[in-house]
Amino acid sequence: MAFDYTPYLRMSKMPHLWCPGCGIGIVVKSMIRAIDRMGWDKNDIAVVSGIGCTSRAPGYLDMNTLHTTHGRSISFATGIKLVRPEKHVIVIAGDGDMTAIGGNHFIHACRRNIDITCIIVNNNIYGMTGGQYSPTTPRGAKAATAPWGNMDASFNLTDLAIGAGATYVARGQVGNGTQMERFIRDGLSHHGFSVIETLANCHTQYGRRNKLPDPMQLIKDIQEHSVSKSKAEKMNPEEMEGKLIIGELYKNTQRPEFCDEYEKLCQRVQELTKKVEAPV
């Protein structure tokens, strides 16, 4: 039986504003299936986003949703999570949103290892504002603000997340929704800051400028630039050039989680100050 997404969607808000065939839809569907597998009550889930095409997703999700400012969704999500640590907080963001303007918030959330699941839709471009280059636009690719080809170096988002201290990091791609769903589910069940990068097509803004205007063409291109973990292990650096590894890339269940640590701190402080008056 086909999966029924409607219980998780605000059907009255349809049709959505994404271009037909946009990769964001595949990511959102995978995310809904992953949430469904978790068996969570919709009332217990908050979805927070910034600004961009991707960040419009919360508006369509029948949960507690907050559409914030460009790049800064994680800061709001941090406040929500700290006040209600027993609830589930998910952040969804574009590559520009999370790693350009939001880069600082992103690495610090990784460092804190706060129990938030962060899904980054990496379409290698600023979709919403009309195809300007982002921190993940490949060298040489064209963008509205790189008409002669992008000369800027790009981030490897999963390396960035691992380096900054995230404790679950995976990369999926829109050509394989089932696998993506599994990564998101593992991220949701992970107790700590989890990052799931999803390689997605923005054929409208990225594809059109780079001779890949058709969604299927672009998805195929993304797949061609993706290699599985096991394959990657057998490849040399030259062969890996321009390729991204798909899979669960890092998992660490030992590092302390921020809300747990804060809870412990409160207990310790209250124990210590039980009989002591407030400072004068």
Ligand X SMILES: Cc1ncc(C[n+]2csc(CCOP(=O)(O)OP(=O)(O)O)c2C)c(N)n1
The residues binding ligand SF4 (CB under 6 A) are: 18-19, 22, 24, 53, 123, 127-128, 202-205
CB of 234 to another protein, least distance (A): 39
Nearer to ligand SF4, 89 or 125 (CB): 125
Nearer to ligand X, 49 or 226 (CB): 49
Binding partner of residue 43 among ligand SF4, another protein, ligand X, none, CB cut-off 5 to 8 Å per kind? another protein
Contacting another protein (CB under 8 A), which of 29, 37, 108, 225?
Answer: 108
Alpha-carbon separation of residue 216 from 174, 201, 202, 242 (angstroms): 10, 9, 11, 20
Contacting another protein (CB under 8 A), which of 83, 151, 178, 238?
Answer: 83
Nearer to another protein, 4 or 263 (CB): 263
CA dihedral defined by 18, 24, 28, 33, rounded to 10 degrees? Answer: 120
* Euclidean distance between CA atoms 186 and 200, whole angstroms: 19
Nearer to ligand SF4, 90 or 128 (CB): 128
Binding partner of residue 141 among ligand X, another protein, ligand SF4, none, CB cut-off 5 to 8 Å per kind? none
Binding partner of residue 168 among ligand X, another protein, ligand SF4, none, CB cut-off 5 to 8 Å per kind? none
Contact flag: residue 66 with another protein (CB under 8 A):
yes
Place of tokens 């409208």: 204
Q: Answer yes or no: are the C-beta atoms of 227 and 244 closer than 8 Å.
A: yes
Contact flag: residue 1 with another protein (CB under 8 A):
no
> Which part of the chain contacts another protein (CB under 8 A), choosing from 101-109, 124-132, 193-201, 229-237?
101-109
Residue 219: Cβ-neighbour burial (10 angstroms; 0-12, 13-18, 19+): buried
Contacting another protein (CB under 8 A), which of 9, 19, 38, 80?
Answer: 80
Binding partner of residue 172 among ligand SF4, ligand X, another protein, none, CB cut-off 5 to 8 Å per kind? none
CB of 128 to ligand X, least distance (A): 4
Alpha-carbon separation of residue 110 from 19, 36, 166, 194 (angstroms): 31, 25, 4, 8
By C-alpha distance, which of 159, 121, 153, 154 is closest to 136?
154
Query: Given phi > 0 = left and psi -120 to 50 = alpha, else beta, which region is 98?
Result: alpha
Alpha-carbon separation of residue 196 from 62, 173, 190, 241, 270 (angstroms): 21, 10, 12, 22, 37
Question: Per DSSP, what are the bridge partners of residue 247?
Answer: 171
